[in-house]
Amino acid sequence: MQPKEDILTYLLDILSRDMPASVLNAWFDDAEILSLTEDTLTLLTSTELKRGIILSRYSKPVTDALFELFGTPMKLEVTLERTAPSKQDSCGIREFGFENFVVGDSNKFAAAAAKAVAESPGQAYNPLFIYGGSGLGKTHLLYAIMNFIRASHPEYQMRVFSAELFTNDLVNALQNKKTHEFHDKYRSADLLLVDDIQFIGGRNFSQEEFFHTFNTLYDAGHQIVLTSDRPPKEVPALEDRLRTRFESGLIVDIQPPDFETRMAIVKSKAQRMGLLLPDDVVLYLATSVTANVRQLEGTVKKIVAWRDLLHSPVDVTTAEKAIADLMRENPGLNPTPDMIISEVSAFYGVEERDILGKNRQADIVTARQICMYLVRSLTSMSLKEIGTKVFRRDHTTVMYAVEKVEEMRGTDDAFDKTINLLMENIRGK
């Protein structure tokens, strides 16, 4: 794999979190990285129009994404120096397939249902409704279905869009008196793949329109797949008639991956990025980043980027820095056990090795129990994982600590405030 090409893929992946990949693809489809220096990325594109659009609309998102990737401010330049050959595959969407979706207990039903639908559209489960927390692979599965069907039924008209885009498109159609075209576009599809349908809640004209689109396709026996961050009954301000439609097929959820699946995901992502990760780094990542696959993948990407650009060693120290860096940029992400232990250690003036050790001195035991409690509250690790992977203790010890801290929070106001403060500090890191 060419590192430069990788970087473009990462860049587009980051951009596609906030904008529809179809739109990105229109402007970046044949973009290539011409050069990459310490402070400038130069892209090559094929037309003056694309160059203009990239510079005017995407400068800020691209430089933000570069900052996220490399952790230093970089400029974007775009040139037309030579006409690049058309390269459809440069966009990240193609990367989402069943073959690179790692299956574990947490997602096996969703993956199996998605595969069944891709193999027999309209005949397996209709509609298929996939829900789960952020960064757990919903969009990946949706695009995997799309890519699979694109290969097996190239003649199918697929509409792949987010509820957000649907609403915007509808607003435009209404403004430009193009509702007829709008109906045609969506209702003539053989397949409807809708990402983040929860955003349709509360937007009444959108819901009305989507209801008719849904019925038209459904009645014709055409496949509909929906993803959402929550089950239909929890989508706020969703009309009942839509909710019952969404619930009429198969509903599957995706949970955060367990430890083994996280190990497999780290290995698979690293391998695809041409990175050889030593076992201790794989273990470290799978233990530390627990709630979100996007965060896990982002860390691996960062390690690759640092290796390529800064020649950083691929080791646990770099991994630790990469996780911290990613969290600084995305405050919503989950802290690692290490971060929690280090914060509690500094706060109580107790050595980290004592927290992790066996010393029974009262202040050390308290700090240790608070750490166990915070790891349990702020990550998605199970009691058993916290026991074996972090503290080398039985899960009942962790359970006892969690219960004890919970009880103290309930009875001691000052203690409760301290815990809240600690949580804020850890999150703000």
Q: Rule CB under 6 A: which residues touch ligand ADP?
A: 96, 100-102, 107, 132, 134-140, 265, 293-294, 297
* Span interacting with Mg ion, options 96-104, 133-141, 257-265, 353-361, rule CB under 5 A: 133-141
Question: Considering CB distances under 5 to 8 angstroms, the limit depending on partner class, which of ligand ADP, Mg ion, none binds residue 293?
Answer: ligand ADP
In whole angstroms, what is the distance from residue 116 CA to residue 118 CA?
5
Question: Considering CB distances under 5 to 8 angstroms, the limit depending on partner class, which of Mg ion, ligand ADP, none binds residue 129?
Answer: none
Shortest Å distance, C-beta 20 to ligand ADP: 13
Nearer to ligand ADP, 9 or 366 (CB): 9
**Considering the rule CB under 5 A, would residue 126 count as an interface residue with Mg ion?**
no
Within 10 angstroms of residue 184's Cβ, the number of other Cβ atoms is 11
* Span interacting with Mg ion, options 18-26, 132-140, 143-151, 255-263, rule CB under 5 A: 132-140
Nearer to ligand ADP, 297 or 308 (CB): 297
Nearer to ligand ADP, 159 or 294 (CB): 294
In whole angstroms, what is the distance from residue 20 CA to residue 16 CA?
6
CA dihedral 159, 160, 163, 165 (to 10 degrees): -90
Shortest Å distance, C-beta 386 to ligand ADP: 23
Shortest Å distance, C-beta 295 to ligand ADP: 9
Nearer to ligand ADP, 14 or 41 (CB): 14
Question: Considering CB distances under 5 to 8 angstroms, the limit depending on partner class, which of Mg ion, ligand ADP, none binds residue 107?
Answer: ligand ADP
Which residue in the set 46, 139, 299, 366 belongs to the binding site for Mg ion (CB under 5 A)? Answer: 139
Nearer to ligand ADP, 107 or 126 (CB): 107
* Span interacting with Mg ion, options 139-147, 169-177, 275-283, 361-369, rule CB under 5 A: 139-147
* Span interacting with Mg ion, options 31-39, 138-146, 313-321, 324-332, rule CB under 5 A: 138-146
The count of residues interacting with Mg ion (CB under 5 A) is 1
Nearest Cα residue to 69 out of 310, 268, 245: 310
Nearer to ligand ADP, 54 or 136 (CB): 136
Q: Which residue is nearest to Mg ion (CB)?
A: 139
In whole angstroms, what is the distance from residue 255 CA to residue 24 CA?
29
**Considering the rule CB under 5 A, would residue 213 count as an interface residue with Mg ion?**
no
* Span interacting with Mg ion, options 113-121, 137-145, 248-256, 317-325, rule CB under 5 A: 137-145
Question: Considering CB distances under 5 to 8 angstroms, the limit depending on partner class, which of Mg ion, ligand ADP, none binds residue 136?
Answer: ligand ADP
Shortest Å distance, C-beta 203 to Mg ion: 19
Q: Which residue is nearest to ligand ADP (CB)?
A: 137
Nearer to Mg ion, 45 or 295 (CB): 295
Shortest Å distance, C-beta 137 to ligand ADP: 3
Question: Considering CB distances under 5 to 8 angstroms, the limit depending on partner class, which of Mg ion, ligand ADP, none binds residue 307?
Answer: none
Shortest Å distance, C-beta 116 to ligand ADP: 17
Shortest Å distance, C-beta 134 to ligand ADP: 5
Strand partners, 36: 41
> Which amino acid is located at 278 in the chain?
P
Residue 181 half-sphere exposure toward CB, CA atoms < 13 A: 10
Structure tokens at 89: 């595959």
**Residues at the interface with Mg ion (CB under 5 A):** 139
